[in-house]
Structure 1
Amino acid sequence: MRAKHHILTSIILLLSFSALAQYGTQKKADNLFNKFSFVNAVQVYHNLIEKDFNADYATRQLADSYAFLRNPDSAVVYYKKAVEQPNVPIAYYYNYAQALRGVKAYKESRVWMRRFKKAGGEVNEERLSKDPDFINSIFNAKQQYFLTDVNFNSKYSDFGAYEHDGKIYFASSRNEGVTKKHIYGWNEEPFLDIYVTDKSANDSIVDHKSRLKGDINSVYHEGPITITKDGKTIYFSRNNYNKDVLGKDAEGMTNLKIYKASLIDGKWTNVEELPFNNDDYSNGHPALNSDETKLYFASNMPDGFGGTDIYYVDVNSNGSYGKPQNLGNVVNTDKNERFPFVNSEGVLFFASDGHPGLGLLDIFGTVSDKTNNIISVLNLGVPVNSSKDDFSFFMNDDGLSGYFASNRNGGVGGDDIYAYDRVPQLKIEGTITDVKTNAPVPNAIVTLLDGNNKQIALLKTDEDGNYDINIDRDTDYILNIKKEDYIDDTRHVTSKGVEKKVTSITENFHLNQVEKVLPITELYPIYFDFNKFDIRSDGTAELDRIVNLMMNTYPNMVIKIESHTDSRGSSRYNDRLSLGRAKATYKYLIDKGVDPARITEYKGYGEQKLINDCDDNTNCTEEEHQLNRRTQFIVIKME
């Protein structure tokens, strides 16, 4: 029995450790998905499905990943599995219909589109007719991003927000507090400078005192920027202006160039022009990739596809730069591609008025294959994009938040900065405690089930009694908590109606312990002959059984020994006699290997606790007196 219990415990431990590992794997997959690293996310979601960990959720995410990888054949396979799931969000009817359109299964696509509409979905027929690309239809089927205003926009142009080490850097033409104002004749606004503000300083005034300190800002345009991870080097755009001399091309126009500077004693200095610049065309909008081996930028250099294109140069370990490389016609068009940004997974975002969009400049993300070749672009859709210019996209490392700029209606000035949040992964989290002591209950088994009692996830609470599990939105669940020696607890929970910005639902549990009934009846008394404390043969059999129970069946059991006499003889004599019986019993158990620490006491009670009426005033038979000449065993602790 004990061996079976040990095996069962081992299996539960292995399952729980595996579940914890798979939970970490799911978080990794979701993080890759949010950062547009779909080819890597696919591999991880496949792993989750193979491990049968939250497989329904992983299947839906896998289907979307294949769709965004422009692989409708695989997307159709997993969307088909998704729409067969009970209580699947109806958005997947729409996604399945669009993926079927991608494999030219138009008749079946219309069937699922009708099911989507019948289930309450809304279809913009005009928009669908204008967008023949199934991938954008799926990506933009639901709102991906939610916007919030920032408090440092001005009545002038503000854009290029870039977050680094708790500070937000951005370009602005504001000039509050500046005594000598320089006006750009093109739009009658002051020239752009680079500003910086603390992210946490929500109510601070961002004026001329917030201009970047050092030698970067000049009397002409600066910005936007990118900064190395160590915070010591900045790359920035600036008009062709070196050593107080404004450079011009053959036609008398001043182009943009890319410069870098170093942070020394809190000021940016040692400004130097990058070697691949040219007076005859513009290079601007620098962006570093995550390992800082490539610098991306926009340029209208000759032999591009038209307008401005996105290029990159290799940043060599010795500080030199490679030759500019055009990113090709998947990204670049015959119009303008500008404002590149590369997130922590190496995914490129950019603004373009050449790709199909909602208005003028729109913001796009790129999708790459296994060899990191860009295979398609995704329009980020409403509300990031509008009918106006939308540009200078930035994403934080969480893949869920960042900034962009737009000159859409309703802003404070010409160009305004907007903060965005992507709908984050939702999770259930909580703490399991003992209802009486309020102490945490570690290693409790937490099982998440769907509305049909199908297991979705299994894990154990940590040493502080905490747990958390990723879940879908707008879904009903069941949570079951089990812990040995506690009463199971089951609760229905739902993510329906939870606000989009909410990231967790808290469900704490207070467990009641099971009332233990100690198996006292398993320890029978042993009996003694009149006026003796020797252990009889019938007593040794019971004592040997107790030794086996304590050393094998209940290895944590603790007892105490109480010995007694009959009423014959004086009380003082009987006290000594009963103590002798207690000592003899104790010695027998210890000699057989029982740990003395597991016997809290051995005590003689003489004739104080007779179990019948055989006192000095009663004539009793020898059999009745025998019942009082005994040693009893009291169980103090079982585990």
Structure 2
Amino acid sequence: MRLKNNILTSIILFASFSALAQYGSQKKADNLFNKFSFVNAAQVYHNLIEKDFNADYATRQLADSYAFMRNPDSAVVYYKKVVEQPNVPIAYYYNYAQALRGIKAYKESRVWLKRYKKAGGKIDNEKFLKDSDFINSIFNAKQQYFLTEVNFNSKYSDFGAYEHDGHIYFASSRNEGVSTKHIYGWNEEPFLDIYVTDKSANDSIVDHKSKLKGDINSIYHEGPITITKDGKTMYFSRNNYAKNVLEKDEEGISNLKIYKASLIENEWTNIEELPFNNNDFSNGHPALNNDETKLFFASNMPNGFGGTDIYHVDINSDGSFGTPQNLGNIVNTDKNERFPFINNEGVLFFASDGHPGLGLLDIFGTVSDKNNNIISILNLGVPVNSSKDDFSFFMNEDGLSGYFASNRNGGVGSDDIYAYDRIPQLKIEGSITDVTTNEPIPNAIVTLLDSNNEQIARLETDEDGNYEINIDRDTDYVLNIKKDDYINDTRHVTSKGVENKVTRITEDFNLNRVIKVTPITEFYPIYFDFNKFDIRRDDTVELDRIVNLMMNIYPNMIIKIESHTDSRGSSEYNNKLSLDRAKATYKYLIDKGVNPDRITEYKGSGEQKLLNNCDGTINCTEEEHQLNRRTQFIVIKME
């Protein structure tokens, strides 16, 4: 018996850990998805679907992942499952239509497009018919990013915002407070310098006192920058300016070069020019990958595709550099690709006026396959992109926030920095406690159902009685809490009307303990014939007495029903047989007039609770087996 209990405990603990692990997997998948790491996200969503953990949500995310990986065949398979879900957001009708267009199933695509319009969706028909790139159509079908105010823009050019260790670094041509002003003849603005401000600062005063301390800023252009994780090395762009001399090429142009600086006693110094620079072309806009083994940059060096292209160069373990490599024609065009940025999942973002977009320079994200080869690009859409120049994209490690720059109308200066946020995943969370002791209840079963009572997710509370589940916005749910020895609790919850910035809805539960009397002298068990679940005639006397007690003597009494079998037959069969006995008992009481609300549960326990040793290992009489073929009535509440 001790071994059996230990095994049961192990199973319960494993189920609890498994549920928590699956929730952690869902968070991981969503994080990867937000950072454009769609291949890795898809693998985790597949696992969640196999585990049946919030499977409807995972299927929707998986379908989108395949679409963004430019895999319409797989996207169609999962979008088809998605549109069959109850209460699915109608945006997925549109996504399905676009994916069908990706496999040239135009007739069926029009069917789902019409269904989307009938459900209230709005479509730019001209764009739908002309846009052959279905992944951009799906990605931009809904607004992915939302803009928030930046308080340190000036009337001059501000761009290249880069966040590191609680500080924001950026390039600016502002010159407030400077006595000697150097003006760039191209736009009649001061030359660019690197500034830094505290992210938590609330004031907008970022003047000459906020210039980067040390030797990086000169009388010519500097910026943008990138910084190593340890904060000790900075790579930055600068005009070809060394030893107080501005170098120029044969056409009289001072090209950009990339330099490296070290942080020594809180000042940036030891400026070094990188070895692959050249006086005859520009290298600029440096960006490090996550493990700092590659430096990405923009260059108009010879033998590119035209204009400026994105390149990368290896940073060797000894600090030396390899040979710059062009990223190829999926990223680069015959026009200009600039301002690369690599997020912490290794995804490249860049600005281009050569790919189809909304205006001049637009910002794009890249999509890679399982071998990290870039296979396609995504236009980030409005409001990140506009009809003007949009560039210098930066993403924080959470994948939900960052910065970019634009010279769009309505800004403060010529180029302005904009902060963006992506609508975060909404989750419902809470704690389950004992109403009397206020102690947490671990391993309580939390079931999330949709408005049609279809199960969406099921997990157990952790050792502190806490739970959390990802949910959709603008949706109604039912939350059910169950725990042995406690009265179940069910609550309707909704995410409708929840603001975009809100990330969590809290629903706490206080459960009442069951008052157990097992069995009480008032109620006696009823018994069943071998392999039967019919109510025997001699047991109707006891059942009728229970009906009378509940309806006439104890009008507030609440009970639950537990049914059992003997040990003969398989465990699976006995579980079903005992549940049938419980249902038959429940039906008899209800048919006799007992309010269903006064029976909290009817369940079958199979052969798990034998009253004697007749477990199949010894010979037992029929009378001994009969003792186990029973239904018992447990009082939950008397008054």
Task: Determine if contact 2:16/2:461 at 8 Å carries over to the other structure.
Answer: no
1:326 aligns to 2:322 (yes or no): no
Report the equivalent of 1:152: 152
1:285-334 Cα shifts (integer Å, max 9, x gaps): 00000000000000001111110000000000000001010000000000
C-alpha distance in 1, partners of 2:368/2:127?
Answer: 26
- Structure 1, 394-403 or 121-130: larger mean CA deviation: 121-130
Task: Determine if contact 1:42/1:65 at 8 Å carries over to the other structure.
Answer: yes
Shift of 1:203: 1.8
Give the secondary structure class of the aligned counterpart of 1:141: coil
- Structure 1, 177-186 or 330-339: larger mean CA deviation: 177-186
1:465-497 Cα shifts (integer Å, max 9, x gaps): 221111122222111112232211111111122
Report the equivalent of 1:380: 380
Report the equivalent of 2:588: none
Report the equivalent of 1:391: 391
Task: Determine if contact 1:156/1:173 at 8 Å carries over to the other structure.
Answer: yes
Task: Determine if contact 1:247/1:254 at 8 Å carries over to the other structure.
Answer: yes
Change (3 A) 1:42 1:149: same
Report the equivalent of 1:257: 257
Report the equivalent of 1:464: 464
1:359 aligns to 2:362 (yes or no): no
Change (3 A) 1:518 1:105: closer
Task: Determine if contact 1:17/1:459 at 8 Å carries over to the other structure.
Answer: no
Matching residue's letter, 1:514:
V
- Structure 1, 95-104 or 196-205: larger mean CA deviation: 196-205
Report the equivalent of 2:590: none
C-alpha distance in 2, partners of 1:322/1:11?
Answer: 54
Structure 2: runs of 5 or more not aligned: 523-639
Matching residue's letter, 2:255:
N
Matching residue's letter, 1:414:
S
Report the equivalent of 1:515: 515
Alignment length (residue pairs): 522
C-alpha distance in 2, partners of 1:281/1:10?
Answer: 67
Report the equivalent of 1:571: none
Give the secondary structure class of the aligned counterpart of 1:360: coil
Report the equivalent of 1:613: none
Matching residue's letter, 2:278:
N
Task: Determine if contact 1:145/1:383 at 8 Å carries over to the other structure.
Answer: yes
C-alpha distance in 2, partners of 1:69/1:251?
Answer: 44
1:94 aligns to 2:94 (yes or no): yes
Give the secondary structure class of the aligned counterpart of 1:108: helix
Task: Determine if contact 2:298/2:308 at 8 Å carries over to the other structure.
Answer: yes
C-alpha distance in 1, partners of 2:268/2:4?
Answer: 69
1:235 aligns to 2:235 (yes or no): yes
Shift of 1:209: 0.6
Shift of 1:2: 8.9
Give the secondary structure class of the aligned counterpart of 2:26: helix
How does 1:486-505 map onto structure 2 within 5 Å? 486-505=486-505
C-alpha distance in 1, partners of 2:470/2:9?
Answer: 26
Task: Determine if contact 1:15/1:458 at 8 Å carries over to the other structure.
Answer: no
Report the equivalent of 2:188: 188
Shift of 1:125: 1.1
Task: Determine if contact 2:183/2:189 at 8 Å carries over to the other structure.
Answer: yes
Alignment TM-score, normalising by the size of structure 2: 0.80
How does 1:81-480 map onto structure 2 within 5 Å? 81-480=81-480
Change (3 A) 1:289 1:401: same
Report the equivalent of 1:566: none
Shift of 1:519: 7.4
Matching residue's letter, 1:332:
N
Matching residue's letter, 2:97:
A
C-alpha distance in 2, partners of 1:5/1:315?
Answer: 58
Matching residue's letter, 2:441:
V
Give the secondary structure class of the aligned counterpart of 1:492: strand
Task: Determine if contact 1:16/1:445 at 8 Å carries over to the other structure.
Answer: no
Give the secondary structure class of the aligned counterpart of 2:225: strand
C-alpha distance in 2, partners of 1:348/1:30?
Answer: 18
C-alpha distance in 1, partners of 2:229/2:461?
Answer: 36
Shift of 1:41: 1.0
Task: Determine if contact 1:196/1:212 at 8 Å carries over to the other structure.
Answer: yes
Task: Determine if contact 2:55/2:457 at 8 Å carries over to the other structure.
Answer: no
Give the secondary structure class of the aligned counterpart of 1:150: coil
1:385-433 Cα shifts (integer Å, max 9, x gaps): 0000000000011111000000011111110000000111110011222
Shift of 1:15: 2.3
C-alpha distance in 2, partners of 1:157/1:190?
Answer: 9
Give the secondary structure class of the aligned counterpart of 2:40: helix
Structure 1: runs of 5 or more not aligned: 523-639
C-alpha distance in 1, partners of 2:224/2:159?
Answer: 8
C-alpha distance in 1, partners of 2:443/2:202?
Answer: 42
Change (3 A) 1:369 1:518: closer
**Percent identity (aligned):** 86
Change (3 A) 1:515 1:233: same
Task: Determine if contact 2:29/2:41 at 8 Å carries over to the other structure.
Answer: yes
1:53-93 Cα shifts (integer Å, max 9, x gaps): 11111111111001000010110000001001111110000
1:151-200 Cα shifts (integer Å, max 9, x gaps): 00001000000000111000001111111111111111111000001111
Shift of 1:8: 5.6
After superposition, the CA RMSD in angstroms is 1.7
Give the secondary structure class of the aligned counterpart of 1:74: helix
C-alpha distance in 2, partners of 1:108/1:130?
Answer: 18
Shift of 1:458: 2.2
Report the equivalent of 2:629: none
C-alpha distance in 1, partners of 2:253/2:203?
Answer: 40
Report the equivalent of 1:53: 53
Shift of 1:513: 1.9
C-alpha distance in 1, partners of 2:489/2:157?
Answer: 58
1:524-571 Cα shifts (integer Å, max 9, x gaps): xxxxxxxxxxxxxxxxxxxxxxxxxxxxxxxxxxxxxxxxxxxxxxxx
Change (3 A) 1:261 1:488: same
